[in-house]
């Protein structure tokens, strides 16, 4: 999934340590495709017992409509390895998540699905949290995030993942090109590891 630039509105869910069970509860994991996961996003935070939306949850507020950047608290995406989490976020319409840190597996999964995990310093984060609905500009090539005030911050990103996103290609294609190296490695290791068959 290609990602170059983004100019979009934010919505703020400020809690820290938002785990993947909140992002998409396990009962949505019985799917055998990637379809329909958007409706499970933050399901138990978004909806009441009777299925009506909770009016005070940030995503349900009218002004949050069309927001493509999620601002969330520290250590976003902790917990399970379910890639259903970034699938649910992207199907809902998010293109980027901004936090002060991300759990490792979630970060890796997001980068493989065109969802940009943007790490910012705590001062910038405070500013973003205090001002929901800001329009931010993201430029992946320079790895910069620009606020409406013109303040611009750079964010860390693995250069390889960055290039994959800019080119709109995926890792598997690159890996399949390494076939000769994999064959050579396998030949060297015959017998050193027990196989199952």
Partner 1 sequence: MSKPRTIVEKIWDSHVVAQHPGAPALLFIDLHLAHEVTSPQAFDELRKRGLKVRRPDLTIATMDHSTPTSSRDLPVLDANGAAQLAQMEKNCAEFGIRLYNRMNDHQGIVHVIGPEQGLTQPGMTIVCGDSHTATHGAFGALAFGIGTSQVGHVFATQCLLQQPSKSYEIRVDGQLKPGVTAKDIILAVIAKIGIGGGTECVFEFTGSAIRSLSMEERMTICNMSIEGGARAGLVAPDDTTYQYLANREYGPKGADFDAAVARWKQLPTDEGATYAHRLVIDASTLEPMVTFGTNPGMGIAISENIPDPAAHTGSQKMDLEKALHYMDLKPNVPLKGHPINVVFVGSCTNSRISDLRAAAAVIKGRKVSPNVRMMVVPGSQQVKKQAEAEGLDKIFREAGADFREAGCSMCLAMNGDQLSPGEYCVSTSNRNFEGRQGKGGRTFLASPQTAAASAVMGVVADVRTLL
Residues that bind partner 1 (CB under 8 A): 14-17, 19, 21-22, 25-27, 29-34, 44, 49, 73-75, 78-83, 101, 103-105, 108-109, 112-113, 158-160, 163, 170-172, 174-176, 178-179, 181-182, 185-186, 189, 193-197
**For residues 66 and 190, which CB has a smaller minimum distance to partner 1 in the complex?**
190
**For residues 65 and 185, which CB has a smaller minimum distance to partner 1 in the complex?**
185
**For residues 7 and 104, which CB has a smaller minimum distance to partner 1 in the complex?**
104
Distance CA 24, CA 34 (A): 12
- 116-130 b/e (C-beta count within 10 Å ≥ 16 → b): bbbbbeeebbebbbe
CB of 112 to partner 1, least distance (A): 4
**For residues 27 and 55, which CB has a smaller minimum distance to partner 1 in the complex?**
27
Could you count the other beta carbons within 10 Å of the beta carbon of residue 42?
A: 22
Whether the Cβ atoms of residue 99 and residue 126 lie closer than 8 Å to each other: no
Of residues 90, 140, 85, 124, the one with CA closest to residue 107 = 85
Distance CA 163, CA 40 (A): 31
CB of 54 to partner 1, least distance (A): 14
CB of 57 to partner 1, least distance (A): 13
Chain-centroid distance, C-alpha 70:
9
CB of 70 to partner 1, least distance (A): 17
């Amino acid at each position: 999934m290609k990602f170059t630039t983004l100019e979009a509105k934010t919505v703020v869910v400020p809690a820290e340590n938002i785990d993947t069970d909140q992002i998409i509860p396990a009962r949505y994991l019985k799917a055998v495709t990637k379809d329909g996961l958007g409706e499970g996003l933050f399901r138990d935070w978004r909806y009441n017992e009777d299925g009506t939306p909770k009016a005070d949850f940030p995503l349900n507020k009218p002004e949050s409509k069309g927001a493509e950047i999620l601002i969330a608290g520290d250590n976003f995406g902790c917990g399970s390895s379910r890639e259903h989490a970034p699938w649910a976020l992207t199907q809902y319409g998010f293109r980027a998540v901004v936090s002060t840190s991300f759990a490792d597996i979630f970060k890796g999964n997001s980068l493989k699905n065109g969802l940009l995990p943007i790490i910012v310093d705590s001062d910038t984060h405070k500013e973003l949290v205090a001002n929901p609905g800001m329009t931010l500009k993201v430029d992946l090539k320079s790895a910069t995030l620009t606020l409406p005030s013109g303040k611009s911050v750079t964010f860390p990103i693995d250069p390889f993942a960055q290039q994959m996103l800019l080119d709109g290609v995926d890792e598997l294609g690159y890996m399949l090109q390494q076939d000769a190296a994999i064959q050579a490695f396998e030949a060297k290791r015959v017998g050193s590891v027990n196989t199952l068959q």
